[in-house]
Amino acid sequence: MDPWPHSEAGRFHRGISLVVASIVAPILAAEAIRNHSSLELAVLGSLFVVVALVAWRLHAAFRATPANFPVPQTAASPRIPAESLRMGYRKDKEAKR
């Protein structure tokens, strides 16, 4: 079985979660500036601390997950020559003219 879903999909979802958590922080800060009551500031401050801790944990998990997980090489899979990887579509098209 291919290890792709374990590495790349998980890293993608951790990245999306990190972006959402980083968007929430300025919204909470703007609401704290707008609402000056002590009860509101206590609630917003506690939510900000929770979001900061979650973002810190998500960032650590995101950094620990490897990017570009290598594709396992099996005996049945053919090797692609390096020169064909360098040739793009346009070069192939121009070469045929």
Render each residue's pLDDT in the chain as its tens digit; 97 residues: 555 555 577 788 889 999 999 999 999 999 989 877 899 999 999 999 999 999 999 899 888 877 665 555 555 555 655 555 555 555 555 555 5
Largest interatomic CA distance in the chain: 75
Per-residue confidence (pLDDT) for residue 56, from 0 to 100 = 94
d(CA 17, CA 13): 6
Per-residue confidence (pLDDT) for residue 3, from 0 to 100 = 56
Per-residue confidence (pLDDT) for residue 16, from 0 to 100 = 94
Per-residue confidence (pLDDT) for residue 65, from 0 to 100 = 74
d(CA 65, CA 14): 9
Residue 60 amino acid letter: A
Contact by Cβ (8 Å): 26, 47:
no
Per-residue confidence (pLDDT) for residue 61, from 0 to 100 = 84
Question: Which residues are within 8 A (CB) of 47 and not within 5 positions of it... i.e. 6 or more apart?
Answer: 28
Per-residue confidence (pLDDT) for residue 44, from 0 to 100 = 92
Per-residue confidence (pLDDT) for residue 41, from 0 to 100 = 92
d(CA 55, CA 25): 9
